[in-house]
């Protein structure tokens, strides 16, 4: 844990008042993409980079469709937080890291990636650059689709589920479904992905809740479409069977825009 601290920030409701910047970091919930992505335009200069750290694997493509592949970097963050009130963020877990890099073109550890790593490191952010950011995006997707799905569907922190051998088996089976989708997409996962996933899950604090579960408990919208929904659509495109993910999606989809109304 990092303890309590206050950060004084300059916040603007209209990005046009800010003007062009060096880097745009996109860390919004994916269900706001359609309304938020167009707001990036006034922030772009000739060399502005757009880095998305959002959940899911298709945000980079959405941004590239709007602003071009050359601008877009992709990454993922492992952090457990919850928005308790306006301007108040509570840390709900111990992990806090960012992994990012190029996702289009020749990839590799480019100068702009290395410069951004240096800037983030100066702010005491645990950050790691990779030559191909598609790998960490899908590494996390393999974990997050079942993690958010099971904790959300059960309305329970992971510890209650992990005490059940049946739940553990179903979790890993769902992760293998996502892995099969990645393979069909031509994505190479980290060679030790299953070892690191097992170690992570065996040592995760039992009280850890997915952000999807936190949003459910607060009757907010949830990222079911960017997670289980995207997995299902990609699986269907490749003919990959995903019975567990399909079940989780069916259970969570009615809550996509908040508490279902009668």
pLDDT for residue 161 = 96
What band does 2 get if pLDDT is binned at 50, 70 and 90? low
What band does 262 get if pLDDT is binned at 50, 70 and 90? low
> Phi and psi at residue 72, in whole multiples of 5°?
-95, 130
Q: Which CATH architecture has domain 135-254?
A: Orthogonal Bundle (1.10)
pLDDT for residue 125 = 86
pLDDT for residue 1 = 54
| pTM over cut 0.85 | yes
CATH topology of domain 15-132: Rossmann fold (3.40.50)
pLDDT for residue 255 = 96
Task: List pLDDT tens digits, range 166-193.
Answer: 999 999 999 999 999 999 999 999 999 9
pLDDT for residue 205 = 87
Task: List pLDDT tens digits, range 40-52.
Answer: 999 999 999 999 9
Average confidence (pLDDT) over 27-47: 97
pLDDT for residue 171 = 98
Taking the C-alpha atoms of residue 1 and residue 91, their distance in angstroms, rounded to an integer, is 7
Continuous segment of H or E residues that includes residue 88:
strand 88-102
Task: List pLDDT tens digits, range 130-151.
Answer: 999 999 999 999 999 999 999 9
Average confidence (pLDDT) over 118-122: 93
Task: List pLDDT tens digits, range 190-228.
Answer: 999 999 999 999 998 898 889 999 999 999 999 999 999
Contacts of 165 (CB under 8 A, 6+ apart): none
Q: Mean pLDDT check: name the lowest of 24-33, 91-100, 209-218.
A: 91-100
109-123 b/e with 16+ CB inside 10 Å = b?
A: ebeebeebbeebeee
> Phi and psi at residue 130, in whole multiples of 5°?
-130, 155
Average confidence (pLDDT) over 225-247: 98
Query: Are 15-132 and 135-254 in the same CATH fold?
Result: no
Continuous segment of H or E residues that includes residue 238:
helix 230-238
pLDDT for residue 227 = 98
Asked if residues 224 and 250 have their Cβ atoms less than 8 Å apart, the reply is no
Given a cut of 90, whether residue 93 has pLDDT beyond it is no
Q: Domain coordinates of the chain in residue numbers?
A: 15-132, 135-254
């Amino acid at each position: 844990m990092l303890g309590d601290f206050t950060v004084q920030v300059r916040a603007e409701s209209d990005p046009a008042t800010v003007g062009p910047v060096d880097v745009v970091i996109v860390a919004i919930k994916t269900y706001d993409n359609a309304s938020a992505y167009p707001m990036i335009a006034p922030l772009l200069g000739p060399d502005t980079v757009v880095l998305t750290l959002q959940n899911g694997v298709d945000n980079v493509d959405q941004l590239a469709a709007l602003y071009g592949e050359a601008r877009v970097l992709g990454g993922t963050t492992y952090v457990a937080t919850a928005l308790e009130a306006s301007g108040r963020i509570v840390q709900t877990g111990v992990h806090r890291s960012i992994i990012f890099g190029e996702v289009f073109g020749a990839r590799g550890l480019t100068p702009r990636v290395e410069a951004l790593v240096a800037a983030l490191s100066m702010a005491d952010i645990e950050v790691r650059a990779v030559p191909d950011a598609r790998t960490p995006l899908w590494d996390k997707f393999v974990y997050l689709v079942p993690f958010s799905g099971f904790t959300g569907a059960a309305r329970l922190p992971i510890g209650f589920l992990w005490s059940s051998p049946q739940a553990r088996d179903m979790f890993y089976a769902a992760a293998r479904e996502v892995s099969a989708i990645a393979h069909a997409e031509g994505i190479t996962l980290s060679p030790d992905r299953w070892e690191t996933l097992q170690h992570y899950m065996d040592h995760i604090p039992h009280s850890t809740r997915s952000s999807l579960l936190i949003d459910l408990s607060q009757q907010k919208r949830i990222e079911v479409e960017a997670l289980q929904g995207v997995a299902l659509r990609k699986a269907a495109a490749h003919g990959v069977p995903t019975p567990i993910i399909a079940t989780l999606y069916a259970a969570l989809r009615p809550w996509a825009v908040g508490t279902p109304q009668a």
